[in-house]
Amino acid sequence: MSASRALHAVPLHCGFACVMRALVVLAAATVVAAPGSLLAVRGASRAPRMQPDLHHGLPTAAESLAGRWRLLAAEDLGPGGSVARHPWGAHPVGSIVVESGSCYLQIMSTDVPSFVVDKPVAEQMKAMLLSSYIAYSGPCTVNETEGSVTLKVHAAWRPDYVGTEQKRYFRFDNGKLLFGPAPNSIRSGGETFTRRLTLERVQ
C-alpha cells in the first residue's frame, strides 16, 4: 500500500489505535530493508560496494626507505658472516638521507688520529681523510622488487666518484635498516668482505 492510500484509508471516526496502525503502514511503505545493509530509503540509489584494498597502508620499499637514517654500526663481514673488521672504527657516526628522489650518505670515524712529527700535518690529514670519511650525494632511484637503490653521484668526497653510479642493497630487520654494496664486493689485502651498515630511522 502506498503512503497516500494508507492515510486516506483511515476513517474519520477512527481513534488513536487506527492512526497508529496507519503510521506503521506508512513507515513500512516508505522504508525497506536492503539485503546485507542498513535500512535504505526506497528509490534512493544504492552506493556501490567497496572492495577491500589489500595494499592500502602497506608501504613500498621507496616509501620505507625515504627519510633520514642514523648510523649505528659499520661492519665488514667475512666469508662466514662474522664481523671481520670495522672500516671506520668501532664507533663511527653518519647518516643516510633519502628524500624526493635524492640520496645523501656520509660516514666519519670518531677515532682521534695520531700524526707523526716528522711529516707535514696537512699531508697526513689528506691521507687520513680518504680512509676515515666518506660522503656522496645525487639523484637516486629505488627498485623495490630487488631491494636496491642506485645513486648517480653528483658530489663526493673524492673526485673519482663523481659521475659514477653507485648501487646499494637494503633490507629491514626489526625496524633497522641494513644497507650496503653487493655481497663480497669489498676487497682488501687479498681478502673479500661484505660491507653492512646498520641504521635506525630518525624521521
* 39: CB partners within 8 A, 6+ apart: 31, 32, 33
- Do 68 and 105 lie in one domain? The reply is yes
What whole-number distance in Å separates Cα of residue 30 and Cα of residue 25?
9
Backbone φ and ψ for 141, nearest 5 degrees, come out as -125, 145
Q: What is the CATH number of the domain that holds 143?
A: 2.40.128.280
Let me know if residue 56 belongs to a domain: no
Q: How far apart are the first and last CA of the chain?
A: 64
The answer to whether 139 and 154 are in contact (CB under 8 A) is: yes
The answer to whether 61 and 169 are in contact (CB under 8 A) is: no
- Do 165 and 76 lie in one domain? The reply is yes
What is the structure's pLDDT at 194? 97
Mean pLDDT per 10-residue section of the chain, whose length is 203 residues: 50 50 48 42 44 42 81 96 95 96 96 84 82 95 93 96 97 94 93 97 88
Domain that holds residue 125: 61-201
Half-sphere exposure of 161 toward its Cβ, with a 13 Å CA cutoff?
Answer: 16
Let me know if residue 180 belongs to a domain: yes
User: How many domains would you assign to the chain?
Assistant: 2
Let me know if residue 53 belongs to a domain: no
- Do 102 and 160 lie in one domain? The reply is yes
Let me know if residue 49 belongs to a domain: no
The DSSP annotation for 128-167 comes to HHHHHEEEEEEEEEEETTTTEEEEE-SEESSGGGTT-EEE
- Do 20 and 81 lie in one domain? The reply is no
- Do 20 and 86 lie in one domain? The reply is no
- Do 23 and 113 lie in one domain? The reply is no
- Do 80 and 11 lie in one domain? The reply is no
The answer to whether 95 and 68 are in contact (CB under 8 A) is: yes
In terms of DSSP H, where are the helices of the chain? 3-8, 16-30, 61-65, 121-132
- Do 83 and 11 lie in one domain? The reply is no
Let me know if residue 48 belongs to a domain: no
The answer to whether 168 and 143 are in contact (CB under 8 A) is: no
Let me know if residue 134 belongs to a domain: yes
Which of 57, 63, 71 shows the shortest CA–CA distance to 99? 63
The answer to whether 60 and 149 are in contact (CB under 8 A) is: no
- Do 34 and 66 lie in one domain? The reply is no
What whole-number distance in Å separates Cα of residue 160 and Cα of residue 154?
11
- Do 37 and 65 lie in one domain? The reply is no
- Do 34 and 126 lie in one domain? The reply is no
